[in-house]
């Protein structure tokens, strides 16, 4: 992980609770979307790549044990420190690329379920990394990638929306990378409605809560905040968070 992203996630760890106050029902909703698609069963070997603080593991932990913990991979030490202290979690500080290269020791060679949520846009070589991770999926296993599509409905300034669109991989490209790893893929979409206090939103943007915002200088960000203030004048902002779910499945042996 480059220094810019490392600093971004260190900062994010400091405001993490504030971030989720804007959508308190969302973590349970997303965790259920993940659980349903992975069809997790007790005793399965599960990996969460880009786990962050483990916010979405709540519905997976009941299926884990100290002998088959959820392998929780993230390059950010600051975020991993916020993981629950639970023997059913096995934390690994590493990038996805390091996992594929075999540079880190994992408790399992293969997994029954792999999930990546909003992290694939950071991969330096999407095709190689995703096909390499897919190679670690056991027969009958499921690999779920949750991402934002390139076009999002967030109340951001135009330069941020344009840069986000340019950096976010296309869902078809993600699916094709999984298929190179021998998986059969399906793509689906789901929306979560949001209602956020305008002042709260402006503070989150000022704190660069999205990684794309870390690309902007202080001056550019200040100008972007003015643009948001001028364009969005109501005290509450109403918009949809739209997610794409790319599911890869390996045939049973």
Q: Decide if 162 contacts 209 (C-beta within 8 A).
A: no
Domains of the chain (ranges, CATH numbers): 3-249 (3.40.50.150)
Q: Which helix (H) or strand (E) holds 242?
A: strand 236-249
pTM score of the predicted model: 0.90
* Residue of 84, 68, 206 lying closest to 138 (CA atoms): 68
Q: Is the pLDDT of residue 10 over 60?
A: no
The tokens for 15 are 């405001």
pLDDT at position 21, please?
Answer: 60
Mean residue pLDDT of the chain comes to: 90
Question: Distances from the Cα of 30 to the Cαs of 90, 118, 221, in angstroms?
Answer: 21, 12, 29
- CA dist 83 and 91 (Å) reads 8
User: How far apart are the C-alpha atoms of 79 and 6, rounded to whole Å?
Assistant: 10
Kindly report, residue by residue over 115-166, the tens digit of the pLDDT.
Answer: 999 999 989 899 999 999 999 999 999 999 999 999 999 999 999 999 999 9
* pLDDT band at residue 19 under the 50/70/90 scheme: low
User: Which of 118, 130, 137, 176 has the alpha carbon at shortest distance from 47?
Assistant: 137
Spatial distance between the Cα atoms of 104 and 86, rounded to a whole number of angstroms: 21
pLDDT band at residue 18, thresholds of 50, 70 and 90?
Answer: low
- Between 1 and 161, name the one with better pLDDT: 161
- Give tens-digit pLDDT for 172-187: 999 999 999 999 999 9
In the predicted model, is pLDDT for residue 248 greater than 90? Answer: yes
Q: What's the distance, CA 9 to chain centroid?
A: 13
- Quick one: pLDDT band at residue 79, thresholds 50, 70, 90? confident
């Amino acid at each position: 992980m480059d220094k810019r992203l490392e600093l971004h996630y260190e900062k994010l760890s400091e405001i993490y609770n504030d971030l989720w106050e804007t959508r308190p029902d969302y973590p349970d909703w997303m965790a259920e979307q993940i659980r349903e698609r992975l069809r997790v069963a007790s005793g399965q070997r599960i990996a969460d790549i880009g786990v962050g603080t483990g916010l979405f593991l709540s519905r997976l932990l009941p299926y884990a044990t100290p002998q088959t913990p959820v392998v929780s991979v993230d390059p950010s030490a600051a975020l991993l420190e916020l993981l629950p202290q639970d023997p059913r979690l096995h934390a690994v500080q590493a990038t996805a690329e390091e996992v594929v290269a075999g540079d880190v020791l994992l408790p399992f060679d293969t997994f029954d379920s792999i999930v990546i949520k909003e992290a694939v846009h950071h991969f330096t070589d999407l095709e190689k990394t995703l096909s390499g991770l897919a190679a670690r999926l056991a027969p009958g296993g499921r690999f779920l990638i949750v991402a934002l599509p390139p076009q999002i409905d967030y109340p951001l300034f135009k330069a941020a929306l344009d840069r986000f669109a340019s950096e976010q991989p296309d869902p078809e490209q993600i699916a094709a990378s999984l298929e190179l790893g021998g998986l059969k893929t399906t793509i689906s979409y789901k929306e979560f409605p949001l209602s956020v206090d305008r002042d709260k939103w402006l503070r989150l943007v000022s704190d660069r809560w999205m990684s794309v915002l870390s690309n902007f200088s202080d001056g550019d960000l200040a100008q972007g905040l003015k643009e948001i203030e001028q364009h969005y004048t109501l005290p509450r902002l109403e918009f949809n968070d739209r997610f794409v779910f790319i599911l890869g499945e390996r045939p049973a042996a």
